[in-house]
Structure 1
């Protein structure tokens, strides 16, 4: 979740330029009664307690199951050419469903320009995504959508969609059964596009995203409507589920076959709607869910679960105990067999790989490396075909469900600088194939690349260092109060966060950082100090930004936003922020004959070193007592490097502090 939140913020930051209009109220949500069957066989909402939030809109004469020539969008404005309308089958118009929240902003024509469009997953709907991303759950790891969250409803108009074929949208179980036209993913997207444009008057989306099949739809949005959105973020989706993806196709074919193996399906040929729900092919549906649940999680994860946790997901034609198959049997009662079969068949011929070059939006693909449904190798191939796409991936014990999980929130931040360098090398050299490059590092990043050049000399051609850490040494023990000395930089803490916290919490640093108010953060970031009694503001010698800029505002607002966000996110940020001080200083120990600082003369590459003349953080006076940047940091470093015959250029920027790239771009 931490990674998800960070990447959402980056994508939305790039989209912010399109949202400069005055906020306005959303249009009327339409008449739900006219579009919803009086007695639906299957529920309109997965989360019944949230059903009052869901709204409905009809798209008349929409053609389902037709052909989409992407080079001729005018031909499929109302569905694919040659498709079938629901009206022609004696039903009402196609029904869409959605939940909307947030702050719409409009252009001169009254159209919304700051939408965030969220597609639901395979078996889910808008209420599921609301529960996961707005309210936050154990699976999602916390709230993503809301005031001051990653998707900030003070700044964006969020529309969470149902997909055609399940829950609140038109579906076979509304009454047509197997006469319902076989839809495809392009039908799902185009029907919702019509609702967004015609009903909600959305002219542009800042971001289109979704997880699993919602991510699959996200790709389809990008190829069908490349000029509609600024950003795409598919999380665990696919661009093909036909025979080109044997594992994915095989998995869902097994599920479909399980449904059709039900004796009631075979007896009725799938025409069972005249019978009570209890006599529908529910056991086949349970069997199908059992197939998916076997492979949806990592096998190692499943094999380590106790049997009493696994058995409720195991299907039995004749359950030996009430617990056996109980979970899948209950789940089956929520769904309809034809609804699920039509959803599965939508993917059997789906493949948009040849169209990925149409995508214009900034794209970030997120995927789980050990996903056993939508395999990682297919995701890598997709990234190569989407122009300029970025790629974030990781392993997860829960496999396909991992990108919705808690991310780093349950992980210790304890790690060394050298381990960070290994990650950089694995990404840049091993994964991206950049065998040699110039590296730039700012602040802690400066120390990181200094050490990187020492560890991987063949990978670095030159260094550009902006206000870098790493050019001074420190004692291991530090006096924190009269008569009180702490062993702050004990190397044993490198992978023992609890021991580190027990020592460092005696300094009060973590507690003070976590307790910062919005005003205190804003003041500090902009070199101000405020009298706690009178409120008088005076200039400070310490801070981040001397000049106002978009970057300075983004950085400040992100930190302030953490106060009202997920408290676990704030705690994790505080932990990492504080632990990084330890990580830097622990490899710069005066008593260590092989400290990073002592080894800098081994560097044989050109170095450009830059500092601002108002640098507030270097040297690290609080831990080593040094106070003079020029005499105690820069000049000693230059003398050592010159004596070793190394090439170093130095530039001091006037009226500039720690963030040179912001104060003096």
Structure 2
């Protein structure tokens, strides 16, 4: 096991349901300094686990473990932290309670403060659902977060994004083997169908038109090779109930539902941390227009669009050009005196 686990005990979720004996899996990189002020929190994304985030960490990069103490907390529902697949009855599988972005960040806050005694975070950053958790950190704990850089994500999931996810969910749950979440074996037909639906959204039209999947660093031999090798390969190893649990979290993401706030505009206006908000130019479900609206409601935020054809996966660590673009922005933000 290449990660640690923080025991949260019984956690009362935002829904009012108690998740008993909850666990938060996490991995750290680098060393916590004597002042406990070199900490970066870097949450995970839909279906991703801590190792899927490691592409943005390295010597000479913004997230340099020789300089910073980087914590990657695994999202609740992702198979490592408390999830439908890991929780004992009666909260197992289809009975796993609904978890919000707020719930995730409250658990992460306990990890940071109780396990490590940290009171200030130099940076919170993340991709996709990791970006949603980044916004939530800045809203929930404004006195703690010094800077944020959410990329390819949103403070509130848009209606169009919700519709996209309805298609993903329908493909999975149409498999009779799913059995309303009480399957004995993974519903493989549904997982492969989910992957095919997702394939039309994760990358842009230009990406497919120019057959970028055939070039390095991907190097697939054909469209079908890409659909099977990349997309089906990504999801077939996941647990169906875990995917549905995280999908609910994604669909219901909204910093405006943070206790004490009356909506997303009020919550965004309360963010004090300087921010660089980085959507991808051709992201089909987190378009730059949505990020532009969010930045307009924040007091100290810059919109910086990741150019190119990789769509949402511009933030996935696959294209070195996009990785450099994100890393450069992180370096700039970390150098900013706040």
Taking structure 1 as the reference length, what is the TM-score of the superposition? 0.44
CA drift at 1:328: 4.2
CA drift at 1:377: 0.8
Q: Which sits farther off after the overlay, 396-405 or 283-292?
A: 396-405
Distance 2:252 2:63 in 1: 34
Q: Which runs of 5+ in 2 are unaligned?
A: 215-219, 256-263, 326-330
Change (3 A) 1:388 1:262: same
Partner of 1:105: 33
Distance 2:69 2:159 in 1: 38
The 3-state SS of whatever aligns with 2:279 is strand
Change (3 A) 1:58 1:376: same
Distance 2:239 2:195 in 1: 12
CA drift at 1:386: 1.3
Distance 1:343 1:409 in 2: 25
Instruction: Give yes or no for the alignment of 1:392 onto 2:304.
Output: yes
Task: Write out per-residue CA displacement over residues 139-180 of structure 1, whole angstroms, 9 at most, x where no aligned residue.
Answer: xxxxxx33x432333332111121111131010111400111
Q: Which runs of 5+ in 1 are unaligned?
A: 1-50, 67-82, 88-92, 135-144, 315-324, 412-553, 559-665
Matches within 5 A, 1:1-20: none
The 3-state SS of whatever aligns with 2:222 is helix
CA drift at 1:370: 1.2
Change (3 A) 1:180 1:408: closer
Aligned partner (choices 168, 181, 204) of residue 298 of structure 1: 204
Change (3 A) 1:114 1:271: same
Partner of 2:169: 256
Confirm or deny: 8 A CA contact 1:215 1:238 kept in the other structure. yes
Partner of 1:589: none
Partner of 1:63: 12
CA drift at 1:65: 3.9
Confirm or deny: 8 A CA contact 2:79 2:85 kept in the other structure. no
Distance 1:119 1:160 in 2: 5
Instruction: Give yes or no for the alignment of 1:125 onto 2:37.
Output: no
Change (3 A) 1:211 1:408: closer
Partner of 1:12: none
Larger Rg: 1
The 3-state SS of whatever aligns with 1:119 is coil
Partner of 2:253: 350
Confirm or deny: 8 A CA contact 1:248 1:375 kept in the other structure. no
User: Looking at both structures, which has the greater relative contact order when contacts are Cα pairs under 8 Å and sequence separation is at least 6?
Assistant: 2
CA drift at 1:409: 9.0
RMSD, aligned α-carbons: 2.4
Aligned partner (choices 151, 155, 161) of residue 235 of structure 1: 151
Change (3 A) 1:374 1:409: closer
Aligned partner (choices 397, 402, 406) of residue 320 of structure 2: 406
Aligned partner (choices 316, 329, 333) of residue 236 of structure 2: 333
Q: How many residues end up aligned between the 2 structures? A: 306
CA drift at 1:382: 0.6
Taking structure 2 as the reference length, what is the TM-score of the superposition? 0.84
Distance 2:177 2:70 in 1: 42
Distance 1:378 1:410 in 2: 23
Confirm or deny: 8 A CA contact 1:251 1:373 kept in the other structure. yes
Change (3 A) 1:129 1:240: same
Matches within 5 A, 1:467-546: none
Partner of 1:285: 191
Distance 1:261 1:381 in 2: 36
Distance 1:255 1:367 in 2: 22
Distance 1:327 1:209 in 2: 25
Task: Write out per-residue CA displacement over residues 11-33 of structure 1, whole angstroms, 9 at most, x where no aligned residue.
Answer: xxxxxxxxxxxxxxxxxxxxxxx
Distance 1:65 1:410 in 2: 37
Distance 1:171 1:410 in 2: 33
CA drift at 1:406: 2.1
Change (3 A) 1:350 1:308: same
Matches within 5 A, 1:238-637: 238-241=154-157, 245-265=158-178, 268-272=179-183, 275=184, 277=185, 280-305=186-211, 308-314=221-227, 325=228, 327-352=230-255, 353-354=264-265, 355-403=267-315, 404=317, 405-407=319-321
Distance 1:207 1:410 in 2: 18
The 3-state SS of whatever aligns with 1:188 is helix
The 3-state SS of whatever aligns with 1:369 is coil
The 3-state SS of whatever aligns with 2:80 is coil
Distance 1:199 1:361 in 2: 24
